[in-house]
Amino acid sequence: MKLKLWVSGGWINVKETDPIKSTRRLNSFCVENCLPNCVVKAQGGWYWIDQYGFFHFIEKTLSEITFENLFNLLNK
């Protein structure tokens, strides 16, 4: 399955196994797939904030997170 993201004024194709390379792609992915945009960079890595306001660790760097992992995490 290929995903399309809106980045820098145009559509780009990405695979679900591709790593997220920038916060621009992260935000575009969340908006295009109707996911909550609740992934933040904090001390020690990247976290997602649940509906109760708790931080949950995802990965140390953004490039270690794939689109598939993020979709499964935020789609709960």
Is the pLDDT reported for residue 43 higher than 60?
yes
Q: With contact defined as beta carbons under 8 Å apart, do 7 and 20 qualify? A: no
Kindly report the pTM of this predicted structure: 0.83
pLDDT for res 4: 80
Is the pLDDT reported for residue 59 higher than 90?
yes
Burial class (CB in 10 A: 0-12, 13-18, 19+), 70: buried
Using H for helix, E for strand and C for coil, what is the string for 23-39?
HHHHHHHHHHCCCCCCE
Tokens of 76: 């709960």
Average the pLDDT over each of 7-11, 39-43, 54-58, 66-70 and give the range with the smallest value.
7-11
pLDDT band, residue 44 (cuts 50/70/90):
very high
Is the pLDDT reported for residue 14 higher than 90?
no
